[in-house]
Amino acid sequence: MTLILFPYKPNERPEDQLETTLLYGTLKDMRFNCLRLPTTDQRHEYVRVLRENWLREELVIIEHDVVPTIDMVNWLIKCDHSICAQAFYLYPKSTNLKEPVIAHRDASERWIKQGVAYAPYWSLGATKITLLAQKVADLTRLDELPRGKWLDGWLSEKCAAAGLFAHIHYPVAKHNHQ
């Protein structure tokens, strides 16, 4: 059974996280297998929360301020690809770019255009990672992220090196950090 993980950040922009929290409640009521875990205190930083749930079940990870619809979550779970990442925008507030960009990148590390179906570099946001992909990017072996590396960058590099790209799902999901 797919485990849907909701890592969240207590006390950080609570208004941006409200809709994702409501989605968690709805999915739980619908009997999806869901877990909501805080990630900012020392004992439960993000890598650790994911690592504790790695290599047990297929995972869907929904980050604190990304709001896929229930249909989007279902399609992520039902799709046959090893890694499926919902398209969502990063906004100038976090990128310092002029326009919003889709949060996944191509082999040259450029942000993909809307409609591109596969991406070697993906952001977590709302992403399904099968057990096969979890084995390829074995987070249980990672004690600490190398300095200056993002978790999703580390995961996607490991998977891309083994030929596993993310299948990108549309339409674009709502992202409240904007």
Is omega for the bond preceding 171 within 30 degrees of 0, making it cis?
yes
* Sole window of 64-72, 100-108, 115-123, 162-170 interacting with Zn ion (rule: CB under 5 A): 162-170
**If DSSP codes are grouped into helix, strand and coil, which group holds residue 176?**
coil
Q: Output 97 or 132, the one with its CB closest to Zn ion.
A: 132
Residue 129 binds Zn ion, judged by CB under 5 A:
no
| Secondary structure (DSSP) of 158-172 | HHHHTT-PEEEEEEE
Query: What gap in Å lies between CA 169 and CA 59, rounded to an integer?
Result: 16
Residue 167 binds Zn ion, judged by CB under 5 A:
yes
Strand partners of residue 67: 174
Determine contact, residues 120/161, Cβ cutoff 8 Å. no
Tokens of 22: 């409501």
Residue 79 binds Zn ion, judged by CB under 5 A:
yes
Q: Output 39 or 127, the one with its CB closest to Zn ion.
A: 127
Residue 84 binds Zn ion, judged by CB under 5 A:
yes
* Sole window of 6-14, 50-58, 80-88, 119-127 interacting with Zn ion (rule: CB under 5 A): 80-88
Q: How far is the CB of 127 from Zn ion (least distance, A)?
A: 10
Contact residues toward Zn ion (CB under 5 A) are: 79, 81, 84, 167
